[in-house]
Amino acid sequence: MKIESYGLEVDGNLALHQLDDTSFLDFMSRCSACACTGGFESICEAMYLRKPVMMAPAHIEQECNAFDVSRQRWWICRGGF
């Protein structure tokens, strides 16, 4: 599957993008899962679109978000990427 990228394409399955609200929602709607640090907006958008989430929290707020999501069983939790 070809990933459209306006940033850095890491490989055929992973691309890094610059911040853009419209592109974010478009990419999130088409992805099969979300890998993130556990920021509130990313988690909310992923859950709204019924996408599984892999989180590697970087600070306390993200750890709290990851804990809350883990209680909903909507997650994959790792110590790092």
Using an 8 Å Cβ cutoff, are 38 and 62 in contact?
A: yes
Reported pTM: 0.68
d(CA 79, CA 11): 22
Answer left, alpha or beta for residue 41, where phi above 0 means left and psi between -120 and 50 means alpha.
Answer: alpha
Name the percent of the chain lying above pLDDT 70: 80
Query: 9-38: per-residue pLDDT in tens?
Result: 777 777 777 788 888 888 889 888 888 888
